[in-house]
Structure 1
């Protein structure tokens, strides 16, 4: 658009500019008036842009109206980059969901592409709304509008950032998970070994062994029988030794009585006298009563049985140990099979373990998370940091002008309807008045006609 202007301005006559009209023509400046006729281009707006270019599409993504932006084309790079930031957040969201789904679903990567693209479209739509809904907002209410949008952007960024954080720390997390699984398997194997000892001893009374019993019958019965026999053998041997000592004591007393050895209780008379015979009778009777050969025979029989059970127990223990080792290996393998594929939850736990073990990892993962959240929140942050732009002011005025024009349009429509309605009412009233006048004229004509007829009939 080209604006031309004819400008006429009163200016004071410059001193020393008096010239004779005879010698030269006075310049316009010397006449006391300056007539400046200008056809120069003062302002050329709007500056249109291609409707199919990539920058236009980027700006259209954030709700920019090109017909308004054409008045301030200097703002185009800003809003083009703002649109590209929204596209970048959508791409980051797509990558984040892709990495998460590939750890959750056991499907080909092509199968998750539609879901990833849908998620990217959702994120771009949300970011686009958060940015475009703030165009034209000025004044103190600007921050009140930005705060909930910034909170939403941070929340969305936190959701998007988590899978990317896990992906960045993936090597260390995988190593930690492998080591953690090995530790769990080792602990489980140790618990099964503790609760199922190779000697077959009972462990049902141990609280932690309640769910770790193989249920195999071991050499515990033989061990118990062998233990009983050993206790019995010790008792019989003690009785045998005690009885032998008592027999020897009584025989020694009788021998000393017959030898005339003077002791406490002996007569001191040598020879086979009444007391000598009595002492031997007591010793002989006691020996028959205790039956030392029978006691020895019982001890030998128990020793033989203990020997047989010991041999049997050794064989049973070896067999039972093999059964226990096989059972424990099966249980541990079954426990190890429950781990399955590493999912995103286990990765999060692995990162948490790494953070607990290392302050550096804790700080690094939170710095990365904060950076990703900030990047994902860039559409709103860029709009906030950019402040109120010239485009915002134009949009604000356009909105206010639109509201004013809308009000005027409604007023015009209301007055037009009122005028049309009043004109219709007036027309109806006029038609009704004319109808009444015509009716009166017709009535008067009918009266005159009938009067004339009655007069004629009377004459």
Structure 2
């Protein structure tokens, strides 16, 4: 049987007042300081979010307002995070905005959890180690602030950004239309050699063939007309010479006989003129020029009609390509807004300064839970928590020592009991053995005496 060696520690020695002396009401004096707990729902929840223990805070009620507001800062940061994500998702995801609310609430709760951990894990931190504890928490808070602040910055500059994005899209559309117009002229000219026209060619059959044919016929007519005028001028000179020879008239630069009449020289001069006209076929040349004029006129009419039709076809094709180009824009999302804000910042120093001031302000506000805890310094509550932690550690060590000694004492008592029982068993065995020996010895003696 194991002996019970538990000790009643409910009344430590030295706590009873000495005999003959009045008992001092230490308990009443010890618990006079704690104030009644603040049971206001909002205040209590705000402090619980950042891990404040009301039992310790009751000893320093002056700190309640500080930690209540610190808890509200954490709540406000979570609300800003939820609004920021809601603003971002409504610009990225093409779904009704009520469907985005659960995701925004989840993000807000996540930020609330992280901020609550960062603040609550710093309670009781004192001395130089306090700052080393806050450095990683502050970095995390700034990173969260950057993520949260960007959508809010875009939301604040929303009107100007949207105007800039629409204006930029109009400029891009105008440039695209200009390229298609340049690379597809209505006259059907070939622009494939231009570098900027490699990706802006419409596969349409233009009036270039007819235009080239008209140009070729026009060149032929011009050449034939010049030759006809030259030959006609020579024929006229020869006819004038023959007429002067027949009339006996003297002409400048010519040689005539100046003898009037239809003589041999007159007939010879007319024969030369007629032979020249027959050899060069001036009437045929004139008919050919007239035929070319008719062909050119007919093709020019066809070219005018085809150019008008081709111009309409080109215009429709360009409109279709430009509409396809505009279709890639879609709804203005957060990326378009970010690029629009960047362009506005490049164009205006005021916008650049304003957007960075707003961004830094939002990051600071998002980092306020950790900043407020850092800038607030070591509070009375921190010192009490620190002492509570050290006392808890000490009591835990004493409790383990007590349990260890108690268990060791129990084991030692059990071992002693086992040793005692073993000794008693051996003694009883020895006694029984001695009695058996005596009994047999007596019986043997009796048998020998008989």
1:103 equivalent among 88, 91, 108: 91
Gap change, CA 1:264 and 1:353, over 3 Å in 2: closer
2:113 equivalent among 99, 114, 125: 125
- 5+ residue gaps, structure 2, are 1-23
Number of the residue aligned with 1:346 = 336
Instruction: Establish whether residue 53 from structure 1 lines up as the match of residue 45 from structure 2.
Output: no
- Number of aligned residue pairs: 423
Q: How do 1:125-204 residues align onto structure 2 when only pairs under 5 Å count? A: 125-204=113-192
Give the match's secondary structure for 1:106: coil
Encode CA deviations 1:199-254: one digit per residue, 9 max, x unaligned: 22222222222222222222111111111111222222233234445555666788
Encode CA deviations 1:125-175: one digit per residue, 9 max, x unaligned: 111001001000111111111011111111111111111111111111121
Q: How do 1:323-334 residues align onto structure 2 when only pairs under 5 Å count? A: 323-334=313-324
Gap change, CA 1:38 and 1:395, over 3 Å in 2: closer
Give the match's secondary structure for 2:132: helix
Q: TM-score, normalized by length of structure 1?
A: 0.83
1:371 equivalent among 335, 338, 361: 361
- 5+ residue gaps, structure 1, are 1-36
Instruction: Establish whether residue 409 from structure 1 lines up as the match of residue 409 from structure 2.
Output: no
Bigger mean CA offset, 160-169 vs 440-449: 440-449
Tell me how large the CA RMSD over aligned residues is: 3.0
Number of the residue aligned with 2:421 = 431
Gap change, CA 1:250 and 1:67, over 3 Å in 2: same
CA distance in 1, matches of 2:400, 2:25: 42
CA distance in 1, matches of 2:25, 2:253: 164
CA distance in 2, matches of 1:359, 1:291: 82
CA distance in 2, matches of 1:91, 1:264: 111
Q: In the TM superposition, what is the alpha-carbon distance from 1:445 to its structure 2 partner?
A: 1.6
CA distance in 1, matches of 2:31, 2:419: 57
Q: In the TM superposition, what is the alpha-carbon distance from 1:343 to its structure 2 partner?
A: 0.8
Bigger mean CA offset, 342-351 vs 275-284: 275-284
Give the match's secondary structure for 2:100: helix
CA distance in 2, matches of 1:86, 1:263: 118
Gap change, CA 1:267 and 1:104, over 3 Å in 2: closer
Bigger mean CA offset, 180-189 vs 306-315: 180-189
Q: How do 1:33-432 residues align onto structure 2 when only pairs under 5 Å count? A: 44-51=32-39, 53-245=41-233, 247=235, 284-432=274-422
Q: TM-score, normalized by length of structure 2?
A: 0.85
Bigger mean CA offset, 161-170 vs 255-264: 255-264
Q: In the TM superposition, what is the alpha-carbon distance from 1:437 to its structure 2 partner?
A: 2.0
Q: Higher relative contact order at CA 8 Å, sep ≥6: structure 1 or structure 2? A: 2
CA distance in 2, matches of 1:216, 1:78: 77
Number of the residue aligned with 2:435 = 445
Encode CA deviations 1:349-399: one digit per residue, 9 max, x unaligned: 111111111111110011011111111111001001100001111111111
Gap change, CA 1:276 and 1:452, over 3 Å in 2: farther
